Amino acid sequence: MEMRDHPQDIAEIWQRLVTPDGGKIVYLILDGLGGLADRQRGGTELQVANTPNLDDLAGESSCGLLEIVGPGVTPGSGPGHLALFGYDPLRYMIGRGILSALGIDFDLQEGGIAARVNFATLDQQGIVTDRRAGRIPTEKNKSLAKRIREEVSLEFEGEYFFETVSEHRAVLILRGMELSRKVEDTDPQHTGVPPRDPMPRSSSAKKTAQLIRRFLDQVADVLKEESPANGILLRGFDQYQAFPSLQERFALQGVCLADYPMYRGLSRLLGLAVPPPPGGLRQRVECLRQEVKNSHDFYFLHVKHTDSRGEDGDFDAKVKAIEEVDALIPLIRASEPDVLVVTADHSTPAVMGRHSWHPVPVLIHAQTARRDKVNRFDEEACLHGALGIRPGHHLMGLALAHAGRLQKFGA
């Protein structure tokens, strides 16, 4: 009997079986949706929220939980979305800096280095008191970025770019020879401690780390009299390289309906069409209703505020954000996709105020979806659904199958 090479990833099987014909798929991704119970409020954000439309949808769907990366692993937004799109995040890795640069249409070139930037607030002792500088307005960010470009000079065989993304977020790009992405983040990811040093993780990264150090020293001098944005934090250093597209892997012509730059950047990386930002959640839903009439067959509809409010530790505001989405579910269903998926890229419990490793609820609505006994869309109810607990990157295979886009495996 001939023994054949075993595929490293179930997605390799999907790629062999996929057909370009089939139904339309809509992904509704509520960023950071998963939560933990707040005892004073009587449950998680999803359990407390009034969600009649999501609950009705769950009652007509297959439900379950997704473990986005692996047991105990807290996903960043990049790995989280890659998993949902069928890219095993342990095989396909990309730093936040690259996604931020792509999200603002920056002309990245092979070998360029990018890092995500947060404007932050530091006290007189240099301790981080706010990693987001109070979410400063984008216009303030632009003025600070302009000052940095004008007043910071780096002498090396290359050039640097410092660009605004939105609110407190920016991106640093280095372009030149012999640069390395193997530099430690300076963002400590929590307050009450000073920023970290940009330490090299290999001998080849020493020059890049020294360059980053010189940049940070000059930026500190530029921002020292500013308030609240008197410092910056860097994370997600990476070097640009092309990824195989959703079209190449799964024969999907996709479109991104997102306002937030990072998710638009991720979509460009995977070959999705990225029209101008629709300008708000309702506008994105209306755009979906128009786009679904066109030639695309995969639609990525993104909601950010569920994550932002969780990161702010604002339980009630996250509940409100969920309820705002729920009110638009009838409009989303009216677009009549063949497959409608509702889930998240990770959990952001307001009681923690940050991303967490907890599995996220998921529902798949399609004619071929097995109905279960779940009649509420929340973490506890979905635990008992037909899908069980599955790896996050398995979601795409299920969506393709329900859309009639996978042929039979074997004779």
pLDDT of 2 above 60? no
List alpha helices for 154-313, DSSP H.
Answer: 206-223, 246-250, 261-269, 281-291, 305-311
Q: What is the mean pLDDT of the chain?
A: 93
Q: What is the CATH number of domain 99-239?
A: 3.30.70
Question: What is the percent of the chain with per-residue pLDDT over 90, rounded to a whole number?
Answer: 82
pLDDT digits (tens, 9 = 90+) for 205-224: 999 999 999 999 999 999 99
pLDDT of 42 above 60? yes
Q: Residues 30-37: what's their mean pLDDT?
A: 97
The CA distance from 139 to 143, in Å, is 6
Burial 123-157 (b: 16+ CB within 10 A, else e): eeeeebebbbbebbeeebbeebbeebeeebeeebe
pLDDT of 96 above 90? no
3-state secondary structure of 46: helix
| pLDDT value, residue 4 | 56
* Model confidence, pTM: 0.83
Q: Residues 338-346: what's their mean pLDDT?
A: 98
| pLDDT value, residue 7 | 65
Same fold, 19-93+243-402 and 99-239: no
Q: Where are the domains of the chain?
A: 19-93+243-402, 99-239
| pLDDT value, residue 104 | 87
| pLDDT value, residue 256 | 95
Question: What is the percent of the chain with per-residue pLDDT over 70, rounded to a whole number?
Answer: 98
Superfamily of domain 19-93+243-402: Alkaline Phosphatase, subunit A (3.40.720.10)
Cα–Cα distances in angstroms (integers) from residue 193 to residues 58, 122, 124, 295, in the given order:
43, 9, 12, 51
